[in-house]
Chains A and B, each alone.
Chain A
Amino acid sequence: MAVGTEYLAEQPKLRTSAIVLGAIAIAALLAAPFFFYPVLLMSILCFALFACAFNLLIGYVGLLSFGHAAFFGGAAYFTAHAAKVWGWEPLAAILLGVAGAAAMGLVMGFLAIRRQGIYFAMITLALSQMFAFICLQVPFTHGEDGIQGVPRGHLLGIIDLNQPLAMYYVTLAIFLFGFFAIWRIVHSPFGNILKAIRENERRAVSLGYRVDRYKLGAFVMSAALAGLAGGTKAIVFQFATLTDVQWQMSGEVILMTLLGGIGTLIGPIVGASLVIALQNYLAASDFPVTVLIGIIFVICVLLFRRGIVGEILEFTKRRSKGAA
Chain B
Amino acid sequence: MSTIFGIPTPALYGQILIGLINGSFYAMLSLGLAVIFGLLRVINFAHGAQYMLGAFAAYLLLNWLGINYWLALVLAPLVVGAVAVVIERTMLSRLYGVDHLYGLLLTFGLALILEGAFRYWFGAAGQPYAAPSQLTGAVNLGFMFMPIYRGWVVIASLVVCIGTWLLIEKTRLGAYLRAATENATLVQAFGVNVPLLLTLTYGLGAALAALAGVLAAPIYQVSPLMGSNLIIIVFAVVVVGGMGSILGAIVTGYVLGVLEGLTKVFYPEASSIVIFVVMAIVLLVRPAGLFGREE
Q: Which residues on A are within 8 Å of B, measured CB to CB?
A: 1, 64, 111-112, 114-115, 117-119, 121-123, 125-127, 129-130, 133-134, 136-137, 247, 251, 254, 258, 288-298, 300-302, 305
Chain B residues, CB < 8 A from A251:
108, 112
| A39 to B: closest C-beta gap in Å | 25
Chain A's closest residue to B101 (CB) is A64
- Cα distance A100–B234 when bound, in Å? 28
Instruction: Determine if B143 is an interface residue (Cβ-Cβ < 8 Å).
Output: no
Chain A residues, CB < 8 A from B106:
297-298, 301-302
- Cα distance A254–B111 when bound, in Å? 15
Flag the segment in B10-18, B132-140, B203-211, B235-243 that touches A: B235-243
Inter-subunit contact A121/B101 (CB<8 Å): yes
Instruction: Determine if B115 is an interface residue (Cβ-Cβ < 8 Å).
Output: yes
- Cα distance A302–B277 when bound, in Å? 36
- Cα distance A250–B184 when bound, in Å? 34
Inter-subunit contact B120/A288 (CB<8 Å): yes
Inter-subunit contact B117/A291 (CB<8 Å): yes
Inter-subunit contact B235/A122 (CB<8 Å): yes
Name 23 interchain pairs, CB-CB below 8 A, sorted by A: A1-B99, A1-B101, A111-B283, A115-B283, A115-B287, A117-B100, A121-B104, A122-B238, A123-B239, A126-B239, A126-B276, A127-B279, A254-B105, A254-B108, A288-B116, A288-B117, A289-B116, A291-B117, A291-B120, A294-B110, A298-B106, A301-B95, A302-B91
- Cα distance A1–B238 when bound, in Å? 23
Picked from A115, A294, A300, A301, the residue with its CB within 8 Å of the CB of B113 is A294
- Cα distance A133–B272 when bound, in Å? 7
Inter-subunit contact B43/A118 (CB<8 Å): yes
Mark contacts of B78-105 with chain A using CB atoms, 8 A cut-off: 1 yes-contact digit, 0 otherwise.
Answer: 0000000000000100110011111011
- Cα distance A24–B269 when bound, in Å? 53
Given A118-B100, A125-B232, A126-B279; A291-B287 close (CB under 8 Å): no
Given A288-B116, A288-B117; A115-B105 close (CB under 8 Å): no
Interface size on B, residues (CB 8 A): 43
Chain A's closest residue to B109 (CB) is A297
Instruction: Determine if B1 is an interface residue (Cβ-Cβ < 8 Å).
Output: no
| B238 to A: closest C-beta gap in Å | 7
Chain A residues, CB < 8 A from B4:
none
Chain B's closest residue to A130 (CB) is B276
- Cα distance A127–B280 when bound, in Å? 8
Given A291-B116, A291-B120; A122-B43 close (CB under 8 Å): yes
Instruction: Determine if B293 is an interface residue (Cβ-Cβ < 8 Å).
Output: no
Chain A residues, CB < 8 A from B239:
115, 119, 122-123, 126
- Cα distance A288–B124 when bound, in Å? 12
Chain A residues, CB < 8 A from B116:
288-294
Inter-subunit contact A294/B109 (CB<8 Å): yes
Inter-subunit contact A298/B110 (CB<8 Å): yes
- Cα distance A254–B102 when bound, in Å? 11
Chain B residues, CB < 8 A from A64:
101, 104
Instruction: Identify the 8 closest CB pairs spanning chains A and B, nearest first.
Output: A297-B109, A290-B116, A294-B112, A294-B113, A130-B276, A291-B116, A126-B236, A114-B287
Inter-subunit contact A111/B280 (CB<8 Å): yes
Mark contacts of B267-294 with chain A using CB atoms, 8 A cut-off: 1 yes-contact digit, 0 otherwise.
Answer: 0010011001101100110011000000
Chain A residues, CB < 8 A from B233:
126, 129
Chain B residues, CB < 8 A from A122:
43, 235-236, 238-239
Inter-subunit contact A302/B119 (CB<8 Å): no
Chain A's closest residue to B42 (CB) is A118
Picked from B113, B238, B273, the residue with its CB within 8 Å of the CB of A295 is B113
Inter-subunit contact B273/A294 (CB<8 Å): no
User: Which of A118, A247, A254, A302 has the most CB atoms of chain B within a 10 A radius of its CB?
Assistant: A118
Chain A residues, CB < 8 A from B37:
118
Picked from A111, A288, A298, A302, the residue with its CB within 8 Å of the CB of B284 is A111
Chain B's closest residue to A286 (CB) is B120
| A242 to B: closest C-beta gap in Å | 13
Mark contacts of B221-255 with chain A using CB atoms, 8 A cut-off: 1 yes-contact digit, 0 otherwise.
Answer: 00000001000110110110000000000000000
Chain B's closest residue to A128 (CB) is B232
Chain A residues, CB < 8 A from B94:
302
Inter-subunit contact B119/A288 (CB<8 Å): yes
